[in-house]
Amino acid sequence: MLDMFQYGFMQRAVIVGLLIAIIAPCIGVIIVLKRLSMIGDSLSHTSLAGVAAGLSFGISPVLAAVVFSVLAAFGIEQIRKSFVRYSEIAIAVIMATGIGTAGILSGFVKNSASFSSFLFGSLVAISDFELTMVVALSVVVLLAVIFLYKELFYMTFDETSARLAGIPTGAINFIFTLLTAITVSISSRTVGTLVISSLMVLPVAAAMQIAKSYKQTVLFSVLFAVFDMISGLFISYYANLKPGGTIVIFGVVVLVLILAGKNLLKKVFGN
């Protein structure tokens, strides 16, 4: 059953997958609670444009995805300042820009199979350079989430009160958007750009059904994400399926089972 670990590409895939499974829910909890789930979709489409640019001009697609996603994060923050009461417009504008840019640049990609591998993830395509970059950026994201835990917690539930309490909400919002961009872009190889936003939401949705506090929600989200990731990688390897789609569908199944189990307990024991 563990013979898959004898291959170097699977070892890299598991390492990258575990790192993504840890950082994605940490960002996802805040996104879900602030009702900004669409920001993941927006940045993922922009990172896809970066992938297309990288493949077109012969540079690392993951590195290009990081650059494009970070630029998109700057864009979101700038546009939000122009639409204070309708900040969600910024997400829609960046998503439209990302889709359009990806569509144009994809026409210059010579190897369509390589580009397709970024849509839903590929286990065999993770290089040593990309592994090193993912490890480094994951550490940065995790440390930032830990050190800014209290600030992010306050801002998640009441940004106005946080601002009155002296928390630099503008700077924290920008850092958070930046962390989201990095998380989305470095997930493109294993999970895929079109499904990473689901990985940021599904484990959180499952955790919210059983958690009793914010801290429990974060911890359970990470546990569910790790479980979904490892299970999805195993299934995709032995069933010869795309890893990204398999991981997400497994996460959906877990969420449905939790919802069904919770409803059954309510019927048996009442509220």
Per-position pLDDT tens, the chain of length 271: 567 677 777 788 888 888 888 998 999 898 888 877 777 778 888 888 888 888 888 888 888 888 898 888 888 878 877 776 766 788 888 888 888 988 888 888 877 767 777 777 776 667 787 788 888 888 988 999 899 888 888 888 887 888 888 888 888 888 888 888 888 888 777 677 767 878 888 999 999 999 988 899 999 999 999 999 889 888 888 888 888 888 889 999 999 999 998 877 777 776 5
**Backbone phi, then psi, for 166, in 5-degree steps?**
100, 5
Q: DSSP code of 35?
A: T
Cα–Cα nearest to 150, from 18, 30, 21:
30
Contact 217, 24 (CB under 8 A): no
Say what the pLDDT of residue 80 is. 75
Task: Classify 111 in phi/psi space as left (phi over 0), alpha (psi -120 to 50) or beta.
Answer: beta
Say what the pLDDT of residue 219 is. 94
Say how far apart CA 84 and CA 77 lie, in whole Å. Answer: 10
Cα–Cα nearest to 32, from 241, 225, 186:
225
Q: Going from the N-terminus, what domains does the chain have, and what CATH number goes with each? A: 3-193 (1.10.3470.10)
Say how far apart CA 36 and CA 83 lie, in whole Å. Answer: 16
- Looking at the chain, how many residues does it have? 271
Say how far apart CA 196 and CA 188 lie, in whole Å. Answer: 7
pTM assigned to the model: 0.84
